[in-house]
C-alpha cells in the first residue's frame, strides 16, 4: 500500500515537472491515453526572448510531437492555445508537425490565438474556440533594417502566402477571404488586420466550433473511437 502510494507521488512529480518544463503532460485517466500540449505566450524561434517573457519553445515542442507519433500507447493530442504569435518559421513548423500526425488531434483557443497562432489553431483535425476567445489576422511583419527593399518585400509576400495557404487548406475559410481580413484597415488601431471573436471565427470558417474543454475532450474521444473502428475494419478486410 505504501509502495503504491509512493509510486503515485513519483508519477505526479514527473507530470508536474513535465508541465513546468515543456507545457505538456500525458493524461492517463479515462477511456483513452492522451497527450496535452499547452501553447502560450510568444512562440520562441531561433533567438531567445527575454527571460521574463512567457514563451513556447519550438525546440521543446517538436521532439515531443515526434515522440507522440512514435508512441504506441498515446492515442490523441489536445492542444490548448493562448498565444500572441511570435516567430513565423517556428510557428509554421509546429503547425505542420501537428497537421501531419497520424493520431486524432483537437485544438482549443483560450484567450487568443493571434498572428502565427492562426495556423496553430487550424492545424488540428478539429478546432474549438471559447466564446470570449479572439483571433487576430494581419499581414506578415519584420523588424530591423532592409537591404534590397523589393527583394525583401517579395520574400515577405511569399511567407504570407505560405501562411494563408496553410490556414485555407486546414479550415473552411478561403485564401482570398483571409487576405481581405488581413488587409482590413478599419478595425485595429495603428495596424492593419482583423480581430475575430469566438462566433465570428466560426462564421468566417477559421474555427470549426465554439466550445470549451468539455467539448474538446468529448470530440477527441469521439475521433479516437472512429479511428479505432476504421483500423478494425481494415484488419477484417
Decide if 115 is catalytic: yes
Q: Which of 114, 138, 170, 221 is catalytic?
A: 138
Q: Say if residue 60 is exposed, middle or buried (CB neighbours under 10 Å; 0-12, 13-18, 19+).
A: middle
**Quick one: which of 47, 59, 207, 26 has its CA closest to 126?**
207
Residue 235's SS3 state is helix
Among the listed residues 113, 115, 123, 127, the single catalytic one is 115
Judged by DSSP in three states, 52 sits in coil
- C-alpha 80: how far from chain center: 7
Which residues share a beta bridge with 37?
A: 24, 79
* The residue to which cell 485544438 is assigned: 107
Catalytic annotation on 138?
A: yes
List the beta strands (DSSP E) in the chain.
Answer: 24-27, 34-44, 55-57, 76-86, 105-113, 126-129, 134-137, 194-197, 209-210
Q: Look up residue 210 and give its three cell numbers.
A: 465554439
Non-local (6+) Cβ contacts of 200 within 8 A are none
Cα gap 50→162, rounded to integer Å:
28
Which residues are marked as active site? 115, 138
Amino acid at each position: 500500500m505504501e509502495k503504491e502510494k509512493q509510486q503515485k507521488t513519483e508519477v505526479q512529480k514527473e507530470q508536474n515537472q513535465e508541465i513546468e518544463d515543456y507545457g505538456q503532460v500525458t493524461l492517463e485517466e479515462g477511456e483513452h491515453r492522451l497527450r496535452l500540449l499547452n501553447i502560450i505566450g510568444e512562440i520562441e524561434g531561433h533567438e531567445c526572448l527575454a527571460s521574463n517573457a512567457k514563451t513556447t519553445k519550438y525546440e521543446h515542442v517538436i521532439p515531443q510531437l515526434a515522440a507522440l507519433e512514435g508512441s504506441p500507447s498515446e492515442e490523441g493530442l489536445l492542444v490548448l492555445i493562448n498565444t500572441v504569435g511570435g516567430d513565423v518559421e517556428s510557428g509554421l513548423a509546429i503547425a505542420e508537425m501537428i497537421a501531419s500526425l497520424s493520431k486524432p488531434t483537437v485544438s482549443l483557443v483560450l484567450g487568443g490565438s493571434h498572428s502565427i497562432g492562426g495556423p496553430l489553431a487550424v492545424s488540428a483535425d478539429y478546432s474549438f474556440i471559447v466564446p470570449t476567445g479572439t483571433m487576430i489576422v494581419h499581414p506578415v511583419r519584420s523588424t530591423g533594417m532592409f537591404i534590397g527593399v523589393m527583394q525583401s518585400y517579395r520574400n515577405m509576400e511569399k511567407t504570407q502566402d505560405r501562411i494563408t495557404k496553410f490556414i485555407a487548406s486546414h479550415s473552411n475559410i478561403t485564401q482570398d477571404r483571409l487576405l481581405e481580413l488581413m488587409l482590413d484597415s478599419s478595425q485595429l488601431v495603428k495596424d492593419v488586420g482583423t480581430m475575430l471573436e469566438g462566433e465570428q471565427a466560426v462564421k468566417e470558417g477559421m474555427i470549426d466550433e465554439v466550445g470549451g474543454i468539455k467539448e474538446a475532450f468529448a470530440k477527441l474521444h469521439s475521433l479516437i473511437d472512429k479511428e479505432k473502428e476504421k483500423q478494425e475494419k481494415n484488419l477484417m478486410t
